[in-house]
Amino acid sequence: MDGIDAPTTDMTPWALVTGASAGIGEIFCRNLAKRGYHLVLVARRADRLHTLAEELRSKFGTASLVLPADLAEPGATRTIAQRLREEEIHVEFLVNNAGYGMSGRFTDFGWREHADFIQVMTTAVCELTHALLPAMQQRKKGYVINVASVAGLIPGTEGATLYGASKAFLISFSQSLALENYFHRVNISALCPGFTYSEFHDVSGTRELVNRLPSYMWLDADEVVRFGIESVVRPRPRVVAIPGRFYRMLVRVNRMFPGITRHILRKRSKDFRKLDRG
Ligand SMILES: NC(=O)c1ccc[n+]([C@@H]2O[C@H](COP(=O)([O-])OP(=O)(O)OC[C@H]3O[C@@H](n4cnc5c(N)ncnc54)[C@H](OP(=O)(O)O)[C@@H]3O)[C@@H](O)[C@H]2O)c1
């Protein structure tokens, strides 16, 4: 783990973003820096985090603490929390964003791969929130965005079996946390994007498939992030924040006519989920 890239003797608040090395997380960092936050940057690829830290310093005068970490490792969030204590950094804005998709059916993978996935997508999110929330409650100010997905709001698809389940977990977790923290003045949101331009589909090996989806199904990462931040900083936050008119409509249709979305997904999963590994 690396040190702070700029002096921090000021009273500027800190934000922590997991998955800061690419896609939605990287854009969160730029937007939060623009809003005057110093940044704790977490992901595995340290080189990318340092490049981003340097960009944030030169563009916005932001201090960054670069914490390279593999969130699949069970001790990773403890090490992060420990390092924050040592640096006396109080995080006011937490973005649990790190994530990925696994292409294939449930039994195509060994349990180790599933266990790592659950650790990154759910356990690490809970651990980090559990470590940072008490100080936010004490100060009566804080924001937590759990980057979920519209996949957590619609019926499960074939392939990427645990993905929708993990995102549904984050949504329910965020709803409970929002209720528990209302009087602490800590705002909680589950941000639920649909297909968003990032490196996600390159990592999951589905780029070729999803490139065939119509343009109205695609969101810009900047639009997703702006909607997410705006949703959580409002006096009455959107606890389940769905960026994009198409996806808000999809979720509404699913609530009213769940049979229709179940039918479409049964027929169409293979259009955007790679069902065979490799
Ligand atoms: N793109 C979409 O269509 C879409 C839609 C709905 C929701 N989402 C959600 O949005 C979030 C961000 O995804 P994205 O679209 O920005 O994808 P991305 O461009 O692939 O970025 C994923 C980020 O997560 C980090 N990450 C992955 N595994 C990690 C691990 N084991 N430890 C630490 N960091 C890890 C990656 O960093 P390193 O590789 O450097 O570790 C990277 O910074 C995810 O939670 C995803 O599920 C995405």
Q: Give 36-87 pLDDT, tens digit per residue.
A: 999 999 999 999 999 999 999 999 999 999 999 999 999 999 999 999 999 9
Instruction: Give the domains, in start order, of the chain with CATH numbers.
Output: 14-272 (3.40.50.720)
Residue 14 and residue 33 in contact, taking contact as beta carbons nearer than 8 Å: no
| 197 included as an active-site residue | no
155-169, 195-209, 224-238: range with highest mean pLDDT: 224-238
The active-site residue out of 37, 100, 143, 163 is 163
Choose one of 18, 50, 95, 196 to mutate for the ligand 1 pocket test, by most ligand atoms within 8 angstroms of C-beta: 196
Using the mean position of ligand 1's atoms as its centre, give its distance from the Cα of residue 19 in Å.
6
| Ligand 1 atom 27 nearest Cα | 99
* Beta-sheet pairing, 91-96 with 142-147: parallel
Global pTM reads 0.95
> Residues near 11 by Cβ (< 8 Å), separated by ≥ 6?
none
> Residues near 265 by Cβ (< 8 Å), separated by ≥ 6?
154, 155, 156, 157
Task: Indicate whether 3 pLDDT > 70.
Answer: no
Positive or negative CA dihedral for 32, 33, 37, 43? Answer: positive
Q: Which residue has the tokens 């009566």?
A: 140
Q: Which residue has the tokens 């955007």?
A: 272
19 dihedral zone (left: phi>0; alpha: psi -120 to 50; beta): left
- Lookup: tokens for 2: 């690396």
